[in-house]
Amino acid sequence: MNYTKEQIIAYCNEFSKNTLMETLKIEYIDAGEDFLTAKMPVNPSVHQPMGLLHGGASAALAESVGSAASHFFINAKEQEVRGIEISANHLKSIREGVVFGTAKIIHKGKSLHLWEIKITDEAGNLISLCKLTNIVLEKKKTE
């Protein structure tokens, strides 16, 4: 990576504007050589009918942070990233507060990136464990 922590966080938060990430109030807060972390508030806007964090909101957080992280391992002028598979094991429920999604690279290939995303609460309890596979594609040339 040829970016500072501050540049990565600023870039991720900027490209999240007017997207699902902004709707869910996902904010990127930390980055390093092999990880990216974002946070998301847990409130009624991300609840399922029983008043708990919706598994789909957790999956959206996981895919958002894992996909964003892959961008820092590609040549963005010539390549783009697409999520092709995500799995999530929801281990603990939460009704309010904040959750943190941290994506760590498991495999960084030329065409595939595999990420493990741990979603934790403010006390560090594991809420969900997710796995995301991204494909790296060559951008189509426009004539």
First to last CA, the chain: 31
Per-residue pLDDT reduced to its tens digit, 99-108: 999 999 999 9
Torsions phi, psi of 101, nearest 5? -110, 120
Q: What is the pLDDT of residues 107-123, one digit of tens each?
A: 999 999 999 999 999 99
Q: Is the pLDDT of residue 1 over 80?
A: no
- What positions carry a catalytic annotation? 63
Beta bridge partner(s), residue 30: 37
What does pLDDT average to over the chain?
95
87 φ/ψ angles, rounded to the nearest 5 degrees = -130, 150
DSSP 8-state assignment for residue 63: H
* 93 φ, ψ (degrees, to nearest 5): -95, 160
What is the value of pTM for the model shown? 0.94
